Amino acid sequence: MSSSQNRPAIVWFRDDLRMADHPALHEAAASGRPLICVYILDDETPALHPPGAASRWWLHGALAELRGHLEAQGGTLLTLSGSAEKLLPQLAEQTEAASVHLHHRLHERERTQDDRIRQALGRQGGEVRAHWGTVLLDPDAVRTKQGGFYKVCGSFWKALQTHAVPEPLEVPVSLTFHAVPKTILSGARLNEKDLCPQTPDWAEGFRKTWEPGEAEGQEHLEDFLKDAVAGYPRGRDRVAEEGTSRLSPYLASGAVSPRQVWAALQKHGAHTDGPRIFLSELGWREFARYTLYHLPNLPFENLSPKFSAMHWRKSASDLKAWQRGQTGVPIVDAGMRQLWQTGWMHNRARMIVGSFLTKHLLIDWKAGEAWFRDTLVDADFANNAMNWQWVAGTGIEATPFFRIFNPTRQAEKFDPDGDYIRQWVPELGRLSGKALFEPWAAGEEELRKGGVILGRTYPRPVVDLKEGRDRALQAFRSL
């Protein structure tokens, strides 16, 4: 048996793949014990939702970068695949670990799993030390005057800002590590190459667009605050411009923490329009996670119960056309193709394609949520479901269902020169003006000059916009 102080401390990395502002790593390092840093890809627990295909590609890069940082300090990252409930206690037992350090998770299924792991480790004589490291504040800390939880983002955000958000932590100065023999859990080692698509390799556009990891995330944050945050109130809606932070995948993987973003904005000056509005977007992200904590049915059920009677259409062909960016509505197709090629979509475009799916096509938001969860590199269990319930009108705080975005007007307003459509729907590149936004309404001569043949080089719309709108309103009135 190892002497007490030589027994290692395990740091269990999950959606917090960074070294800085990592309370669990910080506490484990402060214990003076040698560290074992581990990540477990749990595809075996049915109640959990493992990462989608695009998130796995991102995970591959994020794990490699985190391992590089640890190796620079003399350690490494052990990556395993299998049931965390089985593997973590086994790892602790076989290495005689004294403690496991981790960050709380939000969904009740995840918290239940953590409780079972805590009990198993307790039976072995170890302990679990948990911290809040993926949110600004403990979700139980922000309460209404009656002691309940907030169901309106504005009220929640106002209340949260009366609390002190902890300052982000630096990378621990001194780290020592415990060498894990290769024989330990050798059959559960994760083959990280399997995280990347093989045949076909559809992630070429991801590699051209993104570089995962903590260092790149911090660079994104610094560049945004230096170059773009002042123009954020306008830039965040211009789909063809680089007016957003593009921090979402770094926040989703935990390469950047929300407290780091909060602190950077406070230092920058959070009271001018750009930083203030951007900070409110961080507040919406926090509210989504807060809602998931208090309402675990968020990803699975309409939070507005009247929508349980909604007669959603089941059209595999319309859903497939939407997924492939072949709806015949240019601004919708541009957004969906940007998603497929880069693993990301501009936020304004997300609202447009979401409204189109749930209202013009009258397809259940859960189908859109599932597609985004599989194809977004920034897929976030809480944020994704919250945003889909918002755009579908089914959430506790949502845009009214009868607010139906007109795709043409959205394109004219937020892509006035058509640059976004031309980039992602190049077969329409020679069209201009109204013909670019509504090719089905253009004259034959104009289409011919633009090299467009509807139904051949570009699809006819899967739905008449007016008819789709009327159908959605009729379904809503029938509730």
Active site residues per annotation: 281, 284, 312, 347, 365, 388
For the chain, give the number of residues. 479
Please, are residues 380 and 350 in contact by the beta-carbon 8 Å criterion? Answer: no
Which among 349, 294, 377 is positioned nearest to 62, based on CA atoms? 377
Distance of CA 44 to the CA centre of its chain: 22
Phi, psi of 41 (to 5 degrees): -85, 105
Phi, psi of 443 (to 5 degrees): -75, 160
Rounded to 10 deg, the angle between the 273-294 and 258-268 helix axes is 160
DSSP designation for 155: H
CA atoms of 161 and 418, how far apart (whole Å): 39
Q: What is the DSSP string of 5-53?
A: GGS-EEEEESS---STT-HHHHHHHHTTPPEEEEEEE--S-TTS----H
* Those residues with Cβ within 8 angstroms of residue 173's Cβ, 6 or more apart along the chain or in another chain: none
Please, are residues 136 and 258 in contact by the beta-carbon 8 Å criterion? Answer: yes
Which among 14, 364, 283, 370 is positioned nearest to 291, based on CA atoms? 283
CA atoms of 288 and 53, how far apart (whole Å): 22
Structure tokens at 163: 């609390």
* Those residues with Cβ within 8 angstroms of residue 439's Cβ, 6 or more apart along the chain or in another chain: 328, 330, 428, 431, 447, 452, 454, 458
CA atoms of 224 and 210, how far apart (whole Å): 15
Strand 9-13 to strand 99-103: parallel, antiparallel, or no bridges (unpaired)?
A: parallel
CA atoms of 464 and 461, how far apart (whole Å): 7
Strand 35-41 to strand 99-103: parallel, antiparallel, or no bridges (unpaired)?
A: unpaired
Structure tokens at 383: 């944020």
Residue holding tokens 């070429």? Answer: 204
* Those residues with Cβ within 8 angstroms of residue 334's Cβ, 6 or more apart along the chain or in another chain: 239, 325, 349, 415, 420, 421, 423, 424, 425
